[in-house]
Amino acid sequence: MSGSQRLATDVAIDSSASVRNLPASRQQVSPAMQAIGVDIVDVQRLQALYSRWQEGLLTRLFTDQEQTICRKASGYRWYSLAGRFSAKEAVKKILASHGEIAGWTEIEVLNGPYGEPSINLYGRAKSAVERLGYSCLILSISHDANLAIATVMAY
Amino acid sequence: MNIRTELLCAMKDLAIDTEHISSATRLREDLEMDSTELVELAVVLEKRLSLEIDDAILGKLSTFGDVEQFLESLSSVLVTSNVKGEKNYATHTA
């Protein structure tokens, strides 16, 4: 049994027990969480890498659309780029825990209608997620004090 | 082109201490390389070796020897395709 399967079993067992301070109507069995990935990126470190390798680095890490979204008149929005980089790494961690791999530009982080980050998958990333049976990836990104952090949940 | 020498030079370029590196040296545990450094290593190696390196495969490799072997295989595919006069995208199964 894999780690994620064990986790799924644990969640299923726990969810059958009553939860204190929650009305009975709210105590429904939610979908079992399958996997979680988290990553943190130093924004200045990413900027330093860009200073050294210029556009070649960004082309390697980000799709054209991501670069366009994160561009402003005076350059790039580095917190946004760092957040996207950490999100990609968080997805890669989930895939790696199942022996799967994906390239940086095979994971794309764009924005939904409310500005919320959303993930598009291509190539190996897409086929790996399908193979693993995940139907949804949920992403949250935050940044402050020169750090960007991303959490991805897959179920 | 000596792959091992180029790989060591690329690592020195990233300020990694290469003095005690052997084939069994682990990238993450022993050299404490993280994903950002692996991206940079791929960029440096592409410039030094004129190869196209797949970050995803590089990121899956564990030891210095694994990377050396990966680069050797890419290099040999490139040489073969050049001899045949074919365009060939070098691939490697990790």
Bigger pLDDT: A2 vs A59:
A59
Residue A127, SS3 per DSSP: helix
Mean pLDDT confidence for B50-73: 96
Q: pTM of the entire structure?
A: 0.80
Find the range with the poorest average confidence among A24-33, A140-149, B4-13, B58-67. A24-33
Q: How far apart are CA A70 and CA A117, in angstroms?
A: 13
Question: At the topology level of CATH, where does B3-84 sit?
Answer: 1.10.1200
- Which of A39, A57, A103 lies nearest to residue B54, judging by beta carbons? A103
8 Å CB contact between A34 and A155: yes
Bigger pLDDT: A35 vs A2:
A35
Interface with chain B: mutation pick from A104, A122, A147, highest number of B CBs within 10 Å: A104
8 Å CB contact between B28 and B21: no
ipTM of this model? 0.80
Interchain pair A101, B40: CB under 8 A: no
Confidence of residue B78 (pLDDT cuts 50, 70, 90): low
